[in-house]
Amino acid sequence: MFKRLSEASGRVLSFTFDGQPLEGREGDSLAAALLAGGVGVFRTTVPSDASRGPYCLMGVCFDCLVEVDGVANRQACMIPLREGMCVTPQRRARQLGE
């Protein structure tokens, strides 16, 4: 888990992850807001459906991939949190009919 230092401030923004309401702060990347909200698993891998969360937070590892407002393959560490974002985890490879 991550805790927010008391001296940290910033406007509160609401969003959802997998249907659950969460709150982050203005200035957070989407990945930071998810981690602060206790989310550890962002995606599962294509070959084996293994759970992954962010490793690098600098746009390199792609283990933070999520779906944001219907667009897949978004790097949560590179996009700023916005009010009302609808985020879902990205699971394994896309299947026929999905």
Please identify which residue in 17, 22, 29, 30 interacts with another protein, judged by CB under 8 A.
29
Contact flag: residue 2 with another protein (CB under 8 A)? yes
50 contacts: CB under 8 Å, gap ≥ 6: 44
Contact flag: residue 41 with ligand FES (CB under 6 A)? no
Q: Which option in ligand FES, another protein, none does residue 86 bind, with CB closer than 5 to 8 A by kind? A: none
Contact flag: residue 60 with another protein (CB under 8 A)? yes
The Cα-based distances of 57 to 23, 25, 32, 61, 84 in angstroms read: 19, 17, 9, 8, 22
Contacting positions for another protein (CB under 8 A): 1-5, 7-10, 25, 27-29, 32-33, 35-36, 40-42, 45-48, 50-63, 65, 71, 73-75, 77-80
